[in-house]
Amino acid sequence: MENLTKQQLEQTILTIKSFKEMMNEKGSKEAVINHLMSETGLTKEECESAYDVYNGISESDIEKAVKSL
């Protein structure tokens, strides 16, 4: 794995934060997956996998990461 720059790490953390905010705004898993499919053109299975990964990241972990920037 290549070394990440501080800027790349910051952008990644902010992207995760933004994604989690979108998940909260959409509410249901189905609404999030439909939004992802519409926006990305990915399959339902791919969007479900992305949802599951991001859903596993806690809000407190994201806030800790943001504060560390």
pLDDT number for residue 46: 96
The whole-angstrom separation of Cα 15 and Cα 12 is: 5
User: Distance of alpha carbon 49 from its chain centroid, rounded?
Assistant: 11
Q: Could you report the per-residue pLDDT of 32-66, keeping only the tens digit for each?
A: 999 999 999 999 999 999 999 988 888 888 888 88
Provide the pLDDT for residue 1. Answer: 54
- How confident is the model over 9-15, as a mean pLDDT? 90
- Give me the pLDDT at residue 22, please: 92
